[in-house]
Structure formats: structure tokens, C-alpha cells
Amino acid sequence: MLKHEDIIAAIPHALSGVDLPELGPRISGKVRDIYRQNGRRVLITTDRLSAFDRIIGLVPYKGQVLNQLSAFWFDATAHIIPNHVLSVPDPNVTVARECRPYPVEVIVRGYITGVTTTSLWYHYERGVRELYGLRLPDGLQKNDPLPQPVITPTTKATTGHDERLTRDDILARKLVPPDQWEQIERAALALFAYGQEVARRAELILVDTKYEFGWSDDLNRPVLIDEVHTPDSSRFWRAETYEERVGAGLEPQNFDKEFIRLWYAARGYRGEGEPPPLPVELAVQASLRYITVYEMLTGRPFEPAAYPAGPRIREALL
């Protein structure tokens, strides 16, 4: 296991991006650098940390954890739905089938929590019982399990904020054809059930997560794309302390980015203007959490790949 000082030493080498002009124009998401090549999408997961919809700093080994954890889940869930992975030529790189992403983020929630306006708890606390086309029972407390996991889709907004959707909206607005939406719903619930089971064996609770699906011309069907059950796309709580903490009115111990949002919020930053720089200690704590989740979920020791990562990735791809 990497130690605190190993991660501090890695900070100056954390991967901010990879320039490979030989592969064509670079497309940059918030976290990934992407190159498109005849039906394939090269996804390089960097160490960029996003929060408040912007990049706030670099976290050593985060890119490797996300890429290898997604690879683990894609492999483990191939019996539920086919996915975009063609190969993983480097710890930070996945070569995927280029798909046509549906303009819907498929969020599945097993618990009622959150603070943002797309979260269930935000509305429930204000008395709302009907949203996303779902009916919620009375009497739930923050961080309680839902009677059963639910799908709460949102638009995948290219600009601005994500908008809540119901199944009827998705069909009426023809965002996804009905038969494909049905396949997607079934896959999403099965993926979530499987994810919860694996998480539970690792003494974690998979609280909620976001899936993306895309149409694959190769496979002639919807497939799972992007990333799966990572701390960037999911909330994880420690199972062991959940009951006790929630019973005492405390927040569950989390392994997601919530502690970073809280640190910024405590300093009065809520997403307006330039964020204060990510402090070294916060980057180290984030790195350790990402690595810990990886080890718990996969049951494998994390094997840090060599820094600097740029030359290594270039060699794997060219």
C-alpha cells in the first residue's frame, strides 16, 4: 500500500493531460483526454479532479484507479450487458468502441441522500413525494434505503444544468427509442443490484451511481460506455459504520468526493468564480481514498504505475 509520503512525492508528476498529435485532434472532457480513430475511442483517464463542474486540481493515481476500476467492472458485468471495451493497453488507457451516447444519464439510487437540486433528499425534505415519475413513501429519513432501487434519469446537458426526466419524457421527446429504453432500464437495475452485492462483500454500500449507454453500430444494440461504479460516478459508504452513524444523526463515512465539496463549502466556495487551489493534504487524502476503494472492491492490491505517465502512455499507443 502506498504511503502518505509516496503520494506527496508523486504530486508533481500527477497526470494533467496527454498530447498525442499523431492520433489526431484531442478532445478533452473534464477528466479524460480522448482521441477518435476509425470507429474507436481512445480514452486516457488523467489525474484531474472535477468538482462543482470544473477541474479543481490533480490527484496522484486517480486516473489509474478510475481506469482500472472501470475495467474490473466492465469485465465483471459483461454477462449483464455488453460494453465498449476493446482493450486496456496501459493502466490509464482504455480503447473503446466509438458509440453514439444516448443524451440521458441513467442514475440509479438505492438510498435517499444528497444536497443538490437533482438529489432525492433535497426535494423529499421539502415535502415532494412524486418526482422522476416515481412515488416515494412517507417517513423516510436522510440516508435511508429506498424500498427498492430507482432510476432517476437526467438529460446529459452539454451546457448548463442537468434536467430531471421521467420515462414518459424520454419517450415523448424521443431521446431513446422505447425498446432500447426498456433494455437500458433492465440493464441499469441489474448492474446496480450486482454492484451492490459486490460492494457489500467488500464492506461497502453502493449508494447510487450514474451509467451511460450508447448505441454500438458494431454490436447493433445499446451497450454500457464511459465508466462504471467508480468513486467519480458513484457514492460509496462504509457498511460497517453506516447504521451506527445514521442512527446518531451523523453522515455515513463516505468514499466519494463529498469531503472535498465540504472543504470548499466551509471556506465559502460554492462553485462561483475561480476555486481556491486544492491543498496538498486534500489531494493526498483523495488519492488514498480512491486507492482504498479500488482495493476494497477488486480485492486486489493497487499496483502504482510509473510516473511520469506521459511517455509510458505514448509508448503504449504509438
Ligand X SMILES: Nc1ncnc2c1ncn2[C@@H]1O[C@H](COP(=O)(O)OP(=O)(O)OP(=O)(O)O)[C@@H](O)[C@H]1O
234, 110 in Cβ contact below 8 A? no
Neighbours of 162 (CB within 10 A): 17
Selected from 9, 12, 19, 29, the binder of ligand X by CB under 6 A is 29
Is 226 near ligand X (CB under 6 A)?
yes
The DSSP secondary structure of 6-56, one letter per residue, reads: HHHHHGGG-------GGG-S-EE-SSEEEEEETTEEEEEE-SEEEETTEEE
Is 210 near ligand X (CB under 6 A)?
no
229, 255 in Cβ contact below 8 A? no
Instruction: Output the smallest distance, CB 122 to ligand X, in A.
Output: 22
Tell me, what DSSP letter sits at residue 127?
T
Instruction: Output the smallest distance, CB 22 to ligand X, in A.
Output: 20
239, 198 in Cβ contact below 8 A? no
Is 212 near ligand X (CB under 6 A)?
yes
**Pattern 95-124, binding to ligand X, x per CB under 6 A?**
-xxxx-x-----------------------
Selected from 140, 198, 225, 291, the binder of ligand X by CB under 6 A is 225
Selected from 4, 19, 30, 141, the binder of ligand X by CB under 6 A is 30
Cell numbers linked to 275:
476555486
Instruction: Output the smallest distance, CB 94 to ligand X, in A.
Output: 8
Instruction: Output the smallest distance, CB 63 to ligand X, in A.
Output: 10
Neighbours of 74 (CB within 10 A): 22
- Residue 75 CB contacts under 8 Å (≥ 6 apart), including other chains: 85
**Pattern 156-195, binding to ligand X, x per CB under 6 A?**
----------------------------------------
- Residues interacting with ligand X, by CB under 6 A? 29-32, 34, 41, 84, 96-99, 101, 212, 214, 225-226
